[in-house]
Amino acid sequence: MRFRWQTFRVSIAALLLGGLVVAVPAGAAGKAQTFTGEVSDAMCGAKHMMEGSAADCTRACVQKGSKYALVVGDKVYTLDASDKSALSELDQLAGEQAKIVGTLDGDTIAVKSVMAGK
């Protein structure tokens, strides 16, 4: 009986500790961060399929329903932007470097602001 009680306490402690480990990244995900990369679209990512410039391809894909994306090194983040000024800035910066301030959730950045990058 004593062995079962000790096993039960160890199991409960492990579950509680595991819950704390899972809760820490979830809390960190809500903080705004700055990302710098090239403005693209979610369909093409880093490699544009259309002939012509990266900007023209990005704009054409977005007009056909693709979302804007930010290419940071080998990683492609989908940009979740609904603000008209942010969408306008993304359109102007298509194919160019940009700084995006937003919150990361998986591979999607909820955009708070957009500005030209260096």
**Domain extent listing, the chain:** 1-30, 32-116
The residue count for the chain? 118
pLDDT truncated to tens, each residue of the chain (118 aa)? Answer: 555 656 656 555 554 444 434 444 444 557 999 999 999 999 998 898 888 899 999 999 999 999 999 999 999 999 999 889 999 999 999 999 999 999 999 999 999 999 998 7
Q: What pLDDT, on a 0 to 100 scale, did the predictor assign at position 29?
A: 55
Tokens of 6: 């000790």
Can you give the pLDDT at residue 25?
A: 47
Is 1.10.287 the CATH number for 32-116? no
Q: Residue 50 in contact with residue 56, Cβ under 8 Å? A: yes
Given CA atoms 111, 72, 94, 50 in this order, what sign does their dihedral have?
negative
Q: How far is 83 from 41, CA to CA, in rounded Å?
A: 17
Q: What kind and span of H or E run contains 111?
A: strand 108-116
Q: What pLDDT is stored for residue 14 in this prediction?
A: 52
